[in-house]
Structure formats: C-alpha cells, structure tokens
Structure 1
Amino acid sequence: MDFFLAYTMVWFVGIFVVLGLMLFAEYTKLDEVESYFSQNEMVRSNKRFWKRNQWIDKQYRMLLIFEFLSDSKRHVNAGDVTEAELAAVPSALKRWVVWPYYLLFIWIIATVVWTVWRRWCDIPIP
C-alpha cells in the first residue's frame, strides 16, 4: 500500500475522532466546567450571549474556557480569571477541555502536510 494512501486514511479517520471528542466534551463536560467559573464575569457574559444551547453556542462557550485553561498565566495577569478559579478545576476535567482542541491543532497541521505533499508530488485525486 502506498504511504500517501495510508496517511490519507489515518488523516481522514482523525477528523472523526477529533470531532467526536469535541462533541463529547461539549455536550457532557461543558456544564460541569462552567460551574467552576460561575462567579466569573467573562464566562457569565459569554453564557448569556451564547444561550441557545445549539452546537455553535456550546463551541464558543467551550473555547473561552479552553483559552483560560491553556493560557492561564496571560488571563490571570489580565485579570480575566483568578488563580483560585483555575485551581478549583480538577485536572481530569481540564484534560477533557484542552486535549480535543490540541488534537484539532495537530489535525490541522496534518492537513497542511497532506495538501503540500499532494501538490508537490503531483498526486492525482480520482
């Protein structure tokens, strides 16, 4: 089997894995992680704006908390979140919020690699 074909299959399956993890985290873990930030004004404002509980609303609410957890030092220095709020979130829950997005970034890099590889090697897509 051609290595490009194997890479394409892994890349294609990867998007379903990443989307499945993101949907699982958004629909099962979002309310729990938001409860740790119940007194935070940014989270409350974001929740009021994205209140319809559709997929896009959950996505943007989760992205704000992902920002807090992935770049916590910057947000603590800006005064957006406190150290106590961040420390209250259990590490297992932090992983459920952060890792699907990290895997999405890896998948995006894999997409760029796939595109460049296909164009440079002039691989036709039937």
Structure 2
Amino acid sequence: MTMHPLLAALGVFFMLLGIGLSAYVVNTKLDLVEPYFNNNAMIIGDRRWWGGSSFKDRSMRQGVISMMIMFPKMFIWRGLLTQQEVDAIPLKLKRWIKAPLYFEIPFFLAAIAFCIGEQFQ
C-alpha cells in the first residue's frame, strides 16, 4: 500500500479545516479587528473597493488584514502600517486572524510545487 491515498485524504482534511476556519474568522472576528485599522490608508482603500457585506467582500478584507498581521515588518517597511497599529491588537485576536493563513499558505505552496512537478514527469 502506498502513502498517496493517505496523504491525499490528510490533505483534503486539512484543506477543509482551513476553509471552515477561514469562514468562521470572517464571520466572527473580522468585525473585532477592523476598528484597529480605522486610520490606515491601505485598509480604507480596501474597504472602499471591498466595502460590501457579502462573504466574498468580507473574506477579501480579512485576507489583507491577516497578511498585515502575519508579515508586519514588510508592511511597516513599505509605510503601509505602523507598529502602534499592530501592537494595539490583542494577542488572542491576532492568533485568530492568523490561524487560517497557517493552513492556506502551505497548501498554496504545495499546489505550486505539484504543478511544477507535473511538468517534469
């Protein structure tokens, strides 16, 4: 028996877990974290573009905020975020906002690796 079916099932499980976690965070935690960025120019523009209350609009706003919290030094270096904005967010809320990315980033990188690997077989 090969490991491929087991790895595929494990991958599908973690993918569905990430999607469910992302939906939970978008519906419950986004309203708690957005006020911390009321004066941020990037988030103001993001709200102008994705300002609706649909799931798609909310998930796009949550994605930008989670990237800003996950990689703050990059956004601070570019002048799009201040350290005070990041420090004002409670640690527990930061963990909730970053949690979906812990599932999404590895699967994104794995999808790229599989696409590249398929070309060489």
TM-score range, shorter chain: 0.7 to 0.9
What is the TM-score when the length of structure 1 is the normalising length? 0.80
Q: 1:75/1:17 Cα in 2 relative to 1: closer, same or farther (>3 Å)?
A: same
The equivalent residue for 1:123 is: none
Show structure 1 runs of 5+ residues with no match: 121-126
Secondary structure of the structure 1 residue equivalent to 2:37: coil
Q: Helix, strand or coil: the match of 1:81? A: coil
Question: In structure 2, what is the equivalent of residue 91 of structure 1?
Answer: 91
The one-letter code matched in structure 2 to 1:21 is L
Q: CA deviation at 1:112?
A: 5.5
Which AA in structure 1 matches 2:81? V
TM-align CA RMSD: 2.2
TM-score, normalisation: structure 2 = 0.83
The question of whether the paired residues in 2 share the 8 Å contact of 1:18 and 1:104 is answered with yes
Which amino acid in the other structure matches residue 4 of structure 1? H
Q: Is the 8 A contact 2:15 2:103 kept in 1?
A: no
Query: Please, which runs of 5 or more residues in structure 2 have no aligned partner?
Result: none
Measure, in 1, the Cα distance between the counterparts of 2:74 and 2:11: 33
Structure 2: distance between partners of 1:111 and 1:87: 33
CA 1:113–1:29 in 2, change beyond 3 Å: closer, same or farther?
same
Query: How many residue pairs get matched?
Result: 119
Q: Highest Rg: 1 or 2?
A: 1
2:33 corresponds to:
33
Runs of 4 or more above 2 Å deviation = 107-117
Contact 1:29 1:93 (C-alpha < 8 Å) held by counterparts = yes
| Aligned sequence identity (%) | 26
